[in-house]
Amino acid sequence: MKIIVGGAGNVGKSITSYLSRANNDIIVVDTNQERLDEIVKEFDVQPVLGSISRPDIQEKIGAEVADILISATDNDEVNLVACQVAYTLFRVKKKIARVDSEYFLSPLWNTLYNEKSLPVDLVISPDQEIASNILRLISFPGTKEVYSFADNLLQLICLKCTKECPLYQFQIDELYRNFPELTFSVVQILRDGTNFYPKGSEHILPHDEIYILALSDDIAKVLRIFNASQKNPENIVIFGGNAISYDIARHLEDNDNIASIKVITNNMNAAHELSEHLSRTIVIYGEMMSDVILNDADLDRADTVVSVTSQDKDNLLISLLAQNNGVLNTISLVNSHTYDHLTNQMKDNTIIDRSTATISKILQDIRHANIMSAYSLGRGFAEIWELKLKKDTLLEGKKVSEISMPDKCKILALIRKNQIIFPNSETSFELEDSVIILVAPNGIKKVETIFSV
């Protein structure tokens, strides 16, 4: 697949990072040679100096034969014009634009994005996606990831097993026998950096990160039986004065259970702007890791600390500092894999990876299957898709055992008339089934082929 990515900043780089794993032919366009030099060091891509919105640049890189153009510069207008040029002059099939301004994102202007006006197939706002991910984690304390399926009937959560977990050393089959009243399935275990689908005889071990697909109404009970549930947070401290922290804070202000929200930033302009637009949030300006500022923020009284600055090292160090101050729930944004060694040492810290948060929004548009929703798990070790079986499918009446799924790919669940089915080899597909599938990176093309017919 030939993909053009406009912008080599944090967002463009994170998109490139993910897409480069699937042997795509990727061209990255940016006006900054330094950024291009950096991205070439990390990924096998073709760099082009120039503006993605210019017709001559798009002509130079062969936009007429591109499958997808993703314009992800930090300028909304450039991104929108790039999509217009790609459509009008080069008839690019799929056009995706990064848009950050709330003016362009307002529901009032939804009719703006169509072939007669601005031909953008999908608008993405990475900062909003990151904020939404963090808000979900705050809403489900004790989880490390949360994803919804089948109109919120099902949730996929990730939780961490500790030595205090009462199910430590349980076999997977024992879980199902001991809790028959719950509708859930253990679908992945991440252990020592390796993910696998556990057999019924597999034991749960300390430090396992366990992915569980469960009925939404049973999530709270599942967290309790794993001793992973935490009390709802009341005092939240956010580091970083930007669109992400603003989005998180303004949503938390509507939550009556939140007693205190503080945002700390070392940018004076950002501090003033946040103060003007937030009513219940205390905005603190100063050096974020100084003792004075941390005392002003009452860090030792915080239930949750969220760090979303533009610097990965700062985000990780802030979370480490918070953990040393007794904060149980810390969340760090990471923009790249540069500090993976530090990330891996912070076992109890929750990581929000910019690339996976951003790519999840566009997965259903770049995969060749009738995908209703899709997410990238962890830091990209697998994807999970929700598909609908339409009348032209060749799978109707076939059994799960008759589907030759690639290695590490698995059909996790069927939703049929609002009933959840965790399938076995004899389960048959029916029209209008929603199918939840775990897809490993090396199995994407084959699964696309199976479920696109």
429-432, Cβ contacts within 8 angstroms, sequence gap of 24 or more: 429/389, 429/393, 429/395, 429/396, 429/397, 429/398, 429/399, 429/400, 430/389, 430/396, 430/397, 431/389, 431/390, 431/391, 431/393, 431/396, 432/388, 432/389, 432/390
Q: Would you state the pLDDT for residue 366?
A: 79
Would you state the pLDDT for residue 22?
75
Residue 341: predicted pLDDT: 73
Q: Is 262 exposed, middle or buried (0-12, 13-18, 19+ CB in 10 A)?
A: buried
pLDDT at 186: 96
Q: Distance between CA 233 and CA 258 in Å, rounded?
A: 7
Fold match, 235-348 / 367-451: no
Residue 214: the pLDDT is 95
The 8 Å CB, 24+ separation contacts for 32-37 are 32/8, 35/8, 35/9, 36/8
CB 432 within 8 A of CB 415: no
Superfamily of domain 2-124: NAD(P)-binding Rossmann-like Domain (3.40.50.720)
Hey, which bits of 80-128 come out as E strands? 94-98, 122-124
Output the CA–CA distances (angstroms, integers) from residue 299 to 131, 290, 311, in the order listed.
Answer: 21, 12, 20
Check residue 111 and give its pLDDT. Answer: 64
Domain ranges of the chain: 2-124, 142-225, 235-348, 367-451
Would you say 445 and 395 are in contact if contact means Cβ atoms under 8 Å apart? no
Q: Is the pTM higher than 0.95?
A: no
The pLDDT assigned to 299 comes to 92
Report pLDDT for 103: 63
- Residues 6+ away with beta carbon under 8 Å from 39: 8, 12, 13, 16, 28, 30, 45, 47
Give the type of residue at 187: V
- 235-348, which class in CATH? alpha beta
Residue numbers of the chain with a pLDDT score lower than 50: none
User: What is the tens place of the pLDDT at every residue in 386-411?
Assistant: 999 988 788 999 999 999 999 999 99
The pLDDT score that the predictor gives to residue 355 is: 82
Position 390 scores a pLDDT of 85
Q: What was the pLDDT predicted at 343?
A: 76
Domain 367-451: give its CATH superfamily: Regulator of K+ conductance, C-terminal domain (3.30.70.1450)
The CATH homologous superfamily for domain 142-225 is Regulator of K+ conductance, C-terminal domain (3.30.70.1450)
The reported pLDDT for the residue numbered 231 is 87
Which string of DSSP letters, residue by residue, matches 205-241?
-TT-EEEEEEEGGGHHHHHHHTT---PPP-EEEEE--
Residue 423: the pLDDT is 95
Bridging pattern class, strands 350-353 and 410-416: unpaired
CA distance 352 to 18: 14
How many Å apart are CA 164 and CA 147, to the nearest integer? 26
Give yes or no for a contact between 148 and 189, defined as CB atoms under 8 angstroms apart. Answer: no
State residue 46's pLDDT score: 96
307, with CB counted inside 10 A (0-12, 13-18, 19+), is buried
